Structure 1
């Protein structure tokens, strides 16, 4: 790995180099809503060729930034829902509402995640929301929340179906957010009316 540049602080290995490139990419996306390989290279003090060594095209770079944002979203979601339940004394239904609303808001508002919603990609992104791997990931997320899912009847296949239902609800808002799109409070009120009762029988 060449270490020329990097503003005098070369990365220790290729993994660190990729991580720093992706961090710079997401910084640029947050600031401007878009970016290029040249802008990312300038931000971290390397040549475009250095960035191309890890991400051969700008498309590859932006796709990797989107994937990195999804990983970050998982940790943020878990922290947010745990804190929300602690602050509000919420139950399983409140957790479900907040999961859908929080993920939807970040898919819509995070510039890196917006890449997943771009024309030409949204159909594959939306279809991917309900794949077996996505459902398995959702079940893994549920385990991190301070909720007794078994106490509300979510055991085995029922839990998998519940995750699928959350993902299909999210899917519908991604495809058609409404006109005008609901505010955060309006979205949560809607989900409390139509999603939450399934867990409060």
Structure 2
């Protein structure tokens, strides 16, 4: 039972508890430092050796993903309040993206999730299962009747991918100087809005005899 030694004198009672405590320690460290952390950082915080953490998370990449997903619930609640009552998909998505980008500096876990910087070895992490799940949870907080705009499950997942890629591009390269929120809204309504509404036009075209 070597895996349960250490832990600041209070070892976990199960593997599930150990995993939760490792993730909680990672979340706390990311919130404190505002940046990526290492397996060694988390092990030190818990009073265990690195190999103990590796038993539950095979890499720092995997641990960062778990920490990012675990820490964005509060953001999603604030997002829901921000877009509450907006039924138009273009307006809802515009406000969602603007709000998310403004929250990144205050929510380092969110920035890590959206930037895809868990590890330089995994540039496709943005489209990982965890990131897609985050995106689906995000847009389902909108008061938009997606079906009435021609979206089925498949096209909604594609919209999520588009949303994640759009936000990542602004997060990684916001511009010099960055757009003001009003200018960003105008830009997104024009260009992202055209892409969002295209699904309704495509769906109508397919249904015609």
Identify the TM-score tier after normalising by the shorter chain.
Answer: 0.5 to 0.7
Structure 1 pair 5–156 and aligned structure 2 pair: CA distance change class (3 A): closer
- Which residue in 2 is equivalent to 1:51? 53
* Structure 1 residues 138 and 49, CA gap change in structure 2 (3 angstroms): closer
- Worse overlay, 100-109 or 35-44: 100-109
Whether 2:176 is the aligned partner of 1:179: answer yes
Q: Alpha-carbon deviation of 1:18?
A: 1.8
Using the alignment, how far apart are the partners of 2:47 and 2:38 within structure 1?
Answer: 14
User: Which deviations, in whole Å up to 9, do the C-alpha atoms of 1:100-132 show, x marking residues without a partner?
Assistant: 335555667625717733783474335x37x9x
Q: Deviations over 1:42-100 (max 9, x none)?
A: 322333443343345xxx1x3123212442366445423321133xx323333212333
Alignment of structure 1 residues 140-155 onto 2, 5 Å: 141-155=138-152
The 8 Å contact of residues 37 and 48 in structure 1, kept in 2 or not, is answered as: yes
Q: What is the Cα-based RMSD across aligned positions, in Å?
A: 3.9
Q: How do 1:36-47 and structure 2 match up within 5 A?
A: 36-47=38-49
What does 1:58-97 align with in structure 2 at a 5 Å threshold?
60=59, 62-72=60-70, 75-76=73-74, 78-86=76-84, 89-91=85-87, 92-97=89-94
Query: Helix, strand or coil: the match of 2:48?
Result: coil
The answer on whether the counterparts of 1:100 and 1:170 sit within 8 Å (CA) in structure 2 is yes
Q: Conserved in 2, the CA contact under 8 Å of 1:4 and 1:46?
A: yes
Map 1:20-31 onto structure 2 (within 5 A). 20-31=21-32
Aligned equivalents of 2:39, 2:158: Cα separation in 1: 41
- Distance in 1 (alpha carbons) for counterparts of 2:39 and 2:118: 19
The number of residues matched between the two structures is: 191
Tell me how far 1:17 sits from its aligned partner: 0.9
Aligned equivalents of 2:27, 2:192: Cα separation in 1? 33
Alpha-carbon distance between aligned partners in 2 of 1:100 and 1:73, rounded to the nearest angstrom = 19
Q: Are the aligned partners of 2:22 and 2:46 in contact in 1 as well (CA < 8 Å)? A: yes
Whole-Å separation in 1 of the counterparts to 2:104 and 2:97: 11
Return the alpha-carbon distance in structure 2 between the equivalents of residues 96 and 144 of structure 1.
11
Normalising by structure 2, report the TM-score: 0.65
Query: 3-state SS of the aligned residue for 2:82?
Result: helix
Partner of residue 166, structure 1? 163
